Amino acid sequence: MKAGGRTRRRRPPRAWLGALPLLVFAGLCFGLPAGALLYGAVTRTDPASGTTELTGEHLQRSLQGPYLTSLTGSVELSALTAAIATVFGVLIAQAVVTSRRGALRGAVLTASGVLANFGGIPLAFAFVATLGISGVVTQIGHLDALGWNLYSFTGLTVIYLYFLIPLMVIVVVPALDGLRPQWREAARNNGATAWQYWRHVGLPVLAPSLLGGFVLLFGSAFAAHATAAALVGGSVPLVTLKIADALSGNVLVGQENVALALSLDMIVIAGLVMAVYLPLQRRSSRWLH
Amino acid sequence: MKAPRRTRPRYWRGAVLAVAGLYFITPLLSSFVFTVHVPNQGLTFEAYSGILSADGFTESLFLSLSLAAATIALALLLVVPALVAVRLGPPRLRAVVEIVCMMPLVVPPIALVTGIATVLRWGPDHFSRTPLYQTFLAVQNESFPVVLVLAYTVLALPFVHRSLDAGLRAVDVPTLVEAARNCGASRLQVIVSVILPNLRSSLAGASFLTLALVLGEYTVASLLGFRPFAVWIVSVSGAEARMSVAVSLLSLLITWALLLILSRAGTGPSAPASAGAIPAGAAGAAAIPAAASATPAVGASALPAATTPAAAPIPVPGKE
């Protein structure tokens, strides 16, 4: 915060009224659905008598059988893609940061900003045209003979990286910029090898940013639904696909409450992710300014 | 700043960038080849020429665009006054507004939809004999589903908040408001003719991001049973594989062009519309030397370093 600081003015009365519409809107359009979700996830209404009682049944069911498989599938896919994207994102960012061409930096960062904004349906179809059954690269490389299948866990991994890597580049470039050349020179003058510099100076300073970036990517991959829905439909067990199935009544009737419980599981996981991310973000700004 | 002399050439950098370039360009090129080259027939541009006359294309695109316009208007109307109020009102308000705007990041879109669907089911279940029932029907009108506007506004809040908050950081709101009020301007006049002109690029940034979000949004719309653009693409993909790829490619390129214009204009997109990035703004802004902090004319992006190649001069190691 630069603007403001110590002001010597009286605060105008009723200034907070400007925020009222936003708070009312959030309460109605976000609070109400969230409350309904929570309520439906932990209660059961008997259709015969119309009485409602608290129950842990839905949450319990959402942590069993195929539902549990879909949760672990989502967590595995998100962790794997986030880890790979973290490594490649850092490599690309480091290549850009240490490059002497300002134009390259500008181009890569702009492209990353654009690509990171892309998930969803168009991305899925671009990959169908590339690596799908009759995709161009599949045909040229005869990948089907090698057992390649886009509509699988591996295929989704390849696609998710397309928007996760640019996201990591965006997140980590400012952190890499913050590594001062003086530290490197000091390390070198004291006889440290490049490996020792990274081991004892670079990585410890970067660690909060890297971990924060990983957590952010994990959250993005975990919440993604459209790409997977357009591609695999249901062949890969993912929690977002399971919720969509339960909602659209593709499975047994009366699954809505399990969908709500699954959504609650997702929110808990996403909340944990945020709880890890925010303190890390504060820590990472300690050295890097 | 001077980068230390390299003692050995660094091939790894070229290799990394080459591999990355290949990975990111291949799907785009392949998509194009896929749409214009039919095996055993040769080149044809039918996939593109047939789009405009395709069944449902214009309706769904029009629906998406009008939803986007309504979402942008609603989001800005809610967030601008709130952020101005934050700078004038009690200090605790800032935290409240920020938490409210960031909450949607913790709730994945699919979870939001399950919540909304539950609320919508209350209509026939509990309110069928009350005037409220008409409201439930009205927001789900096929031709213009208000419920989607509300949901999209919730999803867009984090991006809009961040973009505008970064823009307002460069504006001394209390002083400007006080000066304008002393000159006899009304509250509305202050916002319209003093605050908004200072936020031009942030407003553009927030609007573009919201537009990209709404045009590409599939999850909420498909699960609530509406058919805007993204849902339409999926629905034609079965029968018209080539055309669905062509439309996808075009919408990718158009969205990218919009976002490119945006980042050239000085405010950059820095969050994925699909997933919702938490700002790296704190770390990002902190990494920028004070001298390079963006001015209102340029627009303070949440990530000046990452997204304003044309804006503030960022010292590049070895450049100086």
Closest approach of A63 to chain B, Cα-based (Å): 16
In the predicted structure, residue B306 carries a pLDDT above the cut 60: no
pLDDT-based confidence at residue A9 (cuts at 50, 70, 90)? low
Residue of A nearest to B120 (CA): A33
What's the pTM value of the predicted model, to 2 decimals? 0.79
* CA–CA distances in Å: residue B58 to residues B52, B66, B111, B121: 7, 12, 30, 30
Nearest chain A alpha carbon to B208: A117
CA-CA distance, A147 to B282, in Å (whole number)?
A: 45
Average pLDDT for B217-240: 85
Least confident of A32-46, B22-36, B55-69: A32-46
Q: Is the per-residue pLDDT at A84 higher than 90?
A: yes
Nearest-by-Cβ selection for B283 from A129, A247, A281? A281
Residue from the list B4, B96, B107 with its beta carbon closest to the beta carbon of A188: B4
State the amino acid at position B242 in one-letter form: R
Segment B277-303 mean pLDDT: 32
Query: What percent of chain B is modeled with pLDDT above 90?
Result: 5
Confidence of residue A13 (pLDDT cuts 50, 70, 90): low
DSSP class of B267: -
Q: Which of residues 86-115 of B touch A (CB under 8 A)?
A: 86-90, 93, 96-97, 100-101, 103-115
What percentage of chain B exceeds 70 in pLDDT? 75
Q: Residue A233: pLDDT above 80?
A: no
Q: Which residue in B151, B212, B303 is closest to A174 by CB distance?
A: B303
For the ranges A49-53, B83-87, B316-320, the lowest mean pLDDT is seen at: B316-320
Residue A265 — φ and ψ, nearest 5°? -55, -45
- Find where tokens 């179809």 sit: A125
Rounded Cα distance, A53 and A5, in Å:
52
Residue B272 has pLDDT above 50, yes or no: no
Confidence of residue B196 (pLDDT cuts 50, 70, 90): confident
- Listing DSSP states for A144-164 in one string gives GGGT--SSSHHHHHHHHHHHH
Segments in chain B forming alpha helices (H): 11-36, 46-49, 57-88, 92-106, 109-126, 132-139, 146-169, 173-182, 187-190, 196-198, 200-216, 219-224, 229-237, 241-264, 281-287, 304-307
- Report yes or no: B153 at the A interface, CB cutoff 8 Å: yes
- A52 pairs with which residues across the strands? A45
Residue B192, both tokens: 């319209």
Q: Among all residues of chain B, which has the CA nearest to that of A129? A: B31
What average pLDDT does range A103-115 have in this prediction?
78
Task: Please give the C-alpha separations between residue A195 and each of A191, A198, A203, A225, in angstroms, as whole numbers.
Answer: 11, 5, 10, 40
Between strands A52-54 and A43-45, the pairing is antiparallel
Q: Are strands B42-43 and A52-54 parallel, antiparallel or unpaired?
A: unpaired
Q: Which amino acid is at A48?
A: A
pLDDT of residue A178: 76
- C-alpha closest to that of B283 among A282, A214, A276: A282
Distance CA B305, CA B289 (A): 10
CA dist B135 and A287 (Å) reads 53
Quick check: A68 pLDDT over 50? yes
Report CB contact under 8 Å: A118, B278.
Answer: no
Mean pLDDT of A281-285: 69
Reported as type and span, the H/E element at residue B37 is strand B37-38
What string of H, E and C letters represents the secondary structure of A40-75?
HHHEEECCCCCCEEECCHHHHHHCCHHHHHHHHHHH
Q: Give the tens place of pLDDT for each residue, A136-182.
A: 787 777 777 777 777 888 888 888 898 889 888 888 887 887 777 78
Q: Considering CB atoms only, which of B93, B168, B275 is closest to A224?
A: B275
Both structure tokens of A128: 């169908």
Residue A188 has a pLDDT of 85
Query: B248-280 burial, b if ≥16 CB within 10 A, otherwise e?
Result: bbebbeebbebbbebbebbbbbbbbbbbbbbbb
Q: Which residues of chain B are within 8 Å of residue A25 when distances are taken between CB atoms? A: 78, 153
Residues B32-80: tens digit of each pLDDT: 888 887 777 777 777 777 777 777 888 888 898 899 999 999 999 899 8
pLDDT band at B284 (very low <50, low <70, confident <90, very high): very low
Nearest CA in chain A to B311: A106
CB-CB neighbors (< 8 A) of B222 in chain A: 229, 244
Give the per-residue pLDDT at A85.
Answer: 92
Dihedral angle of Cα A85, B234, B228, B65, to the nearest 10 degrees: 60
Yes or no: say if A258 and A67 are a contact pair by the CB < 8 Å rule. yes
Which residue, B277, B278, B1, is CA-closest to A178?
B1
